[in-house]
Each structure stands twice: as C-alpha cells, then as structure tokens.
Amino acid sequence: MKRSLTFVAAMASMALLAAGCASTKASKKTGGSAAAPATGPAAASPTEAARAADMEPDVRDMATREVPELKTVHFSYDSDILDESARATLKDNAAYLKSHADMKVQVAGNCDQRGTVAYNLALGQRRAAAVRSYYKALGVPQNHVATISFGKEKLVCSESTEACWEKNRRAATLEVLSPNVAGTPALH
C-alpha cells in the first residue's frame, strides 16, 4: 500500500510539474512582448540545446561493426570503474571519434557468466554508461554515443577460469552503420 501511495504521489508531482511547464511556456508566448515568438532551431533555450546534445542517439535495429582503431576496455570483477589502462584506451578512442565527427557509436557493456541475468544486464549497462560518461569528459559529442548492455549473453570465452572471465568483463565501442547501408550484417 505504501508503494502505491508513493507511486501515486510521484505521478501527481510529475503531472503538476508538466502543467507548470506548459503554463510557463504559454505565458511566455502570450506575454507582454510585442515581438513575435521565435521558432525553429534558434528558438531552443541553452538548456534545451544542452539536453539535446546529451541525448543518446536511437540506434535500435541498426547494425554495428568493429573498427580496429576503437579498442575494447576491460573491468575488474563486479565493477564499473575505469582503471588507468581503460582510461588511456578511451583517450585514444576519443581522439579517433573526434577526428571522425560524423561517426555514431554504440558502447556495448558485457559481463562474465557468473551472476544472474538481471544483475549482469544492470552491471553491463553501468559499464557502458561509465565509458559514455568518460567520452563526454573527453569532448566526444554525447548525441553520437549510444549504450547497450548484453550482460552475459555475448561471451568471447566460455571456460570457467579467471582468465576467461576477465575477457568477458568488457565494454566495446562499435560503429553504428547507417540504415541505408544495405546488406551489411550486424557483427554484435
């Protein structure tokens, strides 16, 4: 019952916030200014433009492929923390991405085969998000970087050894192929 009330309260708060935003926009458009309201891309506020620049691109159902210059990073057991080696690799990846400004990528988070499916999907997503966040800090446009988690579904090694598990705890940066690239198979 307590959860239901919390959910209802949260939904009511969101509805009030949305209504307040809508009335604020309406009052700005009909406010005391004699000038016509601006329209088009130039009308976006700096906050809206920043939010759009941080949005992940929608790359659902698009094929991806490995690019030799974009290296995979690895993680410690049960961790989404980028170590020094991973950060160095991502700096090189970021330099490549910035020199190929039209390229969109997908960061795929992966885990080893231990743990539940749900836990590993969440951990894989945190790993992909950590890479995306580091790319942002390095100046890679966020609207060119999508994330996905494969959890423990796409293993590169299936043995039950530490050496194998280490290979599976990774985040790969893959190029997203435009939908107009006909006949290109998805590699990941």
Task: State the alpha helices, DSSP H only, in the chain.
Answer: 2-30, 46-54, 84-99, 117-137, 162-168
88 domain residue, yes or no: yes
152 domain residue, yes or no: yes
Residue 133 maps to which CATH number?
Answer: 3.30.1330.60
27 domain residue, yes or no: no
User: Residue 48: what pLDDT?
Assistant: 72
How many domains does the chain contain in total? 1
DSSP state of 106: E
108 domain residue, yes or no: yes
C-alpha distances in Å from residue 43, one per residue of 23, 39, 53, 143: 18, 5, 15, 20
* H or E element in which residue 39 lies: none
User: How much of the chain is helix, strand and coil, in % rounded to 5?
Assistant: 45, 15, 40
29 domain residue, yes or no: no
- pTM given for the model: 0.70
Classified as helix, coil or strand, 78 is coil
The predicted-structure confidence for 42-88, as pLDDT tens digits, reads as follows 556 667 766 766 788 888 889 999 999 999 999 999 999 999 999 99
* H or E element in which residue 71 lies: none
Domain that holds residue 90: 54-176
